[in-house]
């Protein structure tokens, strides 16, 4: 009888989750379609942008590919710092394989993490070590995405290149994001009380919402957050320098890649504008309602560049070329890395 009850509950619990995922995907597709139409309305030419990309000589894709791969290699420092004992080669395999899965499945980050868990366990690490690895590496990436908008907005204002009449609003929003980033950093190094208080407040607000069922379980966000942070302070205190310079180097090379992509198609921009485009692209990857944020990320990044005075067609071509490396190229390369790992595991057994 107990088995029957659980089988009855599971479909009812799973159906709303599937419905929400489908709704998010439809929203993402709608945003992409609207953005594609709107880009033409503001003067962007899809045919001209494609012409600019396809007429690049072979040297440009080769050089851009080297910069892209170098950025991934530098990023392995963040991963090896988050999981002591992990080699840089294996860290690169984890990064590429997880990204390949996330970039082809809606909300595929969970599937990519599950794949990475299997890899890490096969290399002799424990589930607890992997959990801390995920928390620290993802949190450090989140911190960068929360802190960098303030840097970008400050540089835009200093260069007098920001959107007219909205400088103060952007500065306030960026400062709020940076404050949130500082809370995450404090929590990672063992001072989690301010962050836990905010999570507890959000949990209490959520608990007061109208419920469909009086037996609905509370989310338990505060306890879950505290459990995730358990033990991360010792790791971060030992490895903060590696985490920081690895993430800084990765961002620097990502910015160089975007800058070179824009130059390749003939758009020359000042550093603050390129940084603003990079920050927009990196932050929008958090809203992965489509596989890898495809469409949504490009639309938002192009919109930011156009708002900063970049030629619409140039912005379209430059961003598409950049995303061809940081999104599209990760799928076949990550698939190859996964296949090699599977092949190696098969011969090892």
pLDDT tens per residue, range 272-312: 999 999 999 999 988 777 777 788 898 889 999 998 999 99
* Contact assessment for residue 53 and residue 328, using Cβ atoms and an 8 Å cutoff: no
Q: Is the pLDDT of residue 108 over 90?
A: no
Residue 163 lies in a domain: no
Considering 109-123, 242-256, 284-298, the range whose residues carry the highest mean pLDDT is 242-256
pLDDT (0 to 100) of residue 214: 53
Residue 59 lies in a domain: yes
Residue 199 lies in a domain: no
Residue 106 lies in a domain: yes
Q: Which of 100-109, 131-140, 214-223, 227-236 has the lowest mean pLDDT?
A: 214-223
Residue 117 lies in a domain: yes
Q: Report the pLDDT averaged over residues 48-77.
A: 95
Residue 6 lies in a domain: no
Among 290, 330, 349, 303, CA closest to 23 = 290
Residues of the domain holding 65: 48-148+229-348
pLDDT above 90 coverage of the chain, percent: 54
**Bigger pLDDT: 349 vs 12:** 349
Residue 43 lies in a domain: no
pLDDT (0 to 100) of residue 327: 93
pTM: 0.86
The number of domains in the chain is 1
Distance (Å, rounded) from C-alpha 134 to C-alpha 144?
A: 16
What DSSP character marks residue 56? -
Q: Report the pLDDT averaged over residues 246-267.
A: 96
Q: What is the mean pLDDT of the chain?
A: 85
Kindly report, residue by residue over 80-103, the tens digit of the pLDDT: 999 999 999 999 999 999 999 888
Kindly report, residue by residue over 227-246, the tens digit of the pLDDT: 888 888 889 999 999 999 99
pLDDT (0 to 100) of residue 3: 45
pLDDT above 70 coverage of the chain, percent: 84
Residue 181 lies in a domain: no
pLDDT (0 to 100) of residue 163: 64
DSSP string, 70-124: HHHHHHHHHHHHHSTT--HHHHHHHHHHHHHHHTTSTTTHHHHHHHHHHHHHHTT
| H helix or E strand, kind and range, residue 55 | none
pLDDT (0 to 100) of residue 296: 84
| H helix or E strand, kind and range, residue 328 | none
pLDDT confidence of 219, banded at 50, 70, 90? low
């Amino acid at each position: 009888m107990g088995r029957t009850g659980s089988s009855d509950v599971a479909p009812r619990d799973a159906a709303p989750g599937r419905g929400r995922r489908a709704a998010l995907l439809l929203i993402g597709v709608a945003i992409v379609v609207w953005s594609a139409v709107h880009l033409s309305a503001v003067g962007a030419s899809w045919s001209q942008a494609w012409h600019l990309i396809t007429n690049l000589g072979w040297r440009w894709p080769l050089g851009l590919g080297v910069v892209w791969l170098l950025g991934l290699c530098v990023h392995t420092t963040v991963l090896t710092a988050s999981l002591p004992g992990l080699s840089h080669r294996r860290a690169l395999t984890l990064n590429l394989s997880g990204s390949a899965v996330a970039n082809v499945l809606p909300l595929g980050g969970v599937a990519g993490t599950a794949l990475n868990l299997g890899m890490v366990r096969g290399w002799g690490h424990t589930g607890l070590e992997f959990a801390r690895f995920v928390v620290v590496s993802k949190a450090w990436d989140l911190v960068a995405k929360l802190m960098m908008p303030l840097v970008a907005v400050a540089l835009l204002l200093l260069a007098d290149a920001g959107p007219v009449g909205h400088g103060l609003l952007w500065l306030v929003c960026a400062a709020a994001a940076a404050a949130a980033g500082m809370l995450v950093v404090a929590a990672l190094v063992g001072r989690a009380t301010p962050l836990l208080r905010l999570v507890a407040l959000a949990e209490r607000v959520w608990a007061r919402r109208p419920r469909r069922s009086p037996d609905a379980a509370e989310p338990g966000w505060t306890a879950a957050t505290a459990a995730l942070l358990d033990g991360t302070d010792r790791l971060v205190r030992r490895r903060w320098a590696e985490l920081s310079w690895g993430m800084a180097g990765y961002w620097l090379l990502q910015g160089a890649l975007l800058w070179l992509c824009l130059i390749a198609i003939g758009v020359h921009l000042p550093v603050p504008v390129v940084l603003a485009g990079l920050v927009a692209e990196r932050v929008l990857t958090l809203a992965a309602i489509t596989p890898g944020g495809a469409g949504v990320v490009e639309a938002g990044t192009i919109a930011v560049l156009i708002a900063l005075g970049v030629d619409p067609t140039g912005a379209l071509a430059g961003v598409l070329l950049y995303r061809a490396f940081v999104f599209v190229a990760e799928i076949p390369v990550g698939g190859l890395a996964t296949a090699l790992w599977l092949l190696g595991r098969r011969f090892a057994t």
